[in-house]
């Protein structure tokens, strides 16, 4: 992720970053300066994300006591998640970065979920509900104290996801709203096979802007960012019409 953009940003760790996450049922916004979160707001809402987000950004900015001119980069959860919801955050982040002429940092929802888990020897299975009995998922491990993604993110059935954790045969911590929703299905597959397994609770089920901000600051230090125009969402799933078209053309 994140090619180096031709934008000269401030290289100190105190760059102010605006972080936006709308990839799941939650909407969250944070403003941070590398050392700390200056302000943040979060809600789980049945309301459309678009109705909440702009006002939330303005509220958090005022709470943080900064102006938009102080913002040095914008970070956004690029998914996978709910297509319509995640696009609200992505379209907003891209527009803000463009108008402010600052770089954008795109982070996957799976990376955000994994980063929220403190250091452990377990495999961390980040699992996001993709509806229709499917999940978006990826496996992570702490290696030498550093979090590493050990499988490419993918969309699959819940069963396929559970089976792949068995392949590794290690104690596993399941995180995310997909893990909680399909807890019974996952347990059926892994119980008695994995040496041990656990489910992170509801509090850790959704990615948040505060955790996104933490990743964004690390990436900003390495200038792992890009220009707003080039940032694309991580859907992990084609539009239905394209899938049907491909199936029909193949047969």
Partner 1 sequence: MSANTLFNDSTVVLGIETSCDETAAAVVMGGNDVLSSVVATQIDLHARYGGVVPEIASRAHVEAMNVVIRQAISQSGVPIERIDAVAATVGPGLIGALLVGVAAAKSVALVLDKPFIGVNHLEAHLYAALLDDPHVEFPMLVVLVSGGNTLFVEMRGHGDFSVIGQTIDDAAGEAFDKVARFLDLGHPGGPAIDRIALAGNAKAIEFPRAMMHDGLDVSFSGLKTSVINYVRKNPTVSTADVAASFQYAVVDVLAAKARKAAQQIGAKTVALGGGVAANSLLRSTMTTLCAESGWRLVLPSMGMCTDNAAMIASAGWYRLVADGPSSMDMGAMPNLKLT
* Contact range with partner 1 by CB under 8 A, out of 126-134, 148-156, 201-209, 235-243: 235-243
Residue 88 in contact with partner 1, rule: CB under 8 A = yes
Is 133 among the residues that bind partner 1 (CB under 8 A)?
no
| Gap between the Cα atoms of 187 and 198, Å rounded | 10
90 binds partner 1 (CB under 8 A): yes
- Rounded Cα–Cα distance for residues 55 and 79 (Å): 22
Q: Are 26 and 42 in contact (CB under 8 A)?
A: yes
Q: Is 46 in the site for partner 1 (CB under 8 A)?
A: no
Residue written as token pair 């944070």: 30
Query: Which position among 31, 228, 234, 236 is part of the footprint of partner 1 (CB under 8 A)?
Result: 228
Rounded CA separation 123/179 (Å): 14
Gap between the Cα atoms of 29 and 158, Å rounded: 30
> Is 80 near partner 1 (CB under 8 A)?
no
Write down the least CB distance from residue 47 to partner 1, Å: 8
Residues 55-74 that bind partner 1 (CB under 8 A): 55, 57-58, 68
Q: Binder to partner 1 among 50, 147, 163, 221 (CB under 8 A)? A: 50
| Least Cβ distance, residue 126 to partner 1 (angstroms) | 23
Q: Is the dihedral of CA 131, 1, 142, 150 positive or negative?
A: positive
Task: Select the span of 49-57, 126-134, 154-162, 171-179 touching partner 1 (CB under 8 A).
Answer: 49-57
What number of residues does the chain have?
Answer: 251
Residue 45 touches partner 1, criterion: CB under 8 A: no
CB of 53 to partner 1, least distance (A): 7
Looking at the DSSP bridge assignments, the partners of residue 139 are: 125
Are the CB atoms for 76 and 228 separated by under 8 Å? no
């Amino acid at each position: 992720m994140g090619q180096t953009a031709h934008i000269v940003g401030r290289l100190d760790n105190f760059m102010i970053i605006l972080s936006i996450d709308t990839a799941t049922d939650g909407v969250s916004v944070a403003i941070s300066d590398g050392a700390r979160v200056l302000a943040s707001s979060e809600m789980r809402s049945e309301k459309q994300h678009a109705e909440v987000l702009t006002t939330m950004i303005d509220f958090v900015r005022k709470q943080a006591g900064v102006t938009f001119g102080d913002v040095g980069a914008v970070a956004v959860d690029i998914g996978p998640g709910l297509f319509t919801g995640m696009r609200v955050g992505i379209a907003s982040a891209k527009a803000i970065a463009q108008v402010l002429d600052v770089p954008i940092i795109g982070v996957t929802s799976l990376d955000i979920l994994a980063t929220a888990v403190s250091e452990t020897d377990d495999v961390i299975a980040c699992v996001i509900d993709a509806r229709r009995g499917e999940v978006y998922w990826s496996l992570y491990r702490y290696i030498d104290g550093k979090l590493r993604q050990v499988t490419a993110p993918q969309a699959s059935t819940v069963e396929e996801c559970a089976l792949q954790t068995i392949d590794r045969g290690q104690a596993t911590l399941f995180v995310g709203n997909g893990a909680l929703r399909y807890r019974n299905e996952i347990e059926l597959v892994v119980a008695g096979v994995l040496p041990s397994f656990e489910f992170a609770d509801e509090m850790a089920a959704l990615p948040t802007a505060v955790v996104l901000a933490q990743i964004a600051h690390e990436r900003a230090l390495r200038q792992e960012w890009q220009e707003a125009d080039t940032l694309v969402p991580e859907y992990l799933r084609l539009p239905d019409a394209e899938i049907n078209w491909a199936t029909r053309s193949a047969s």
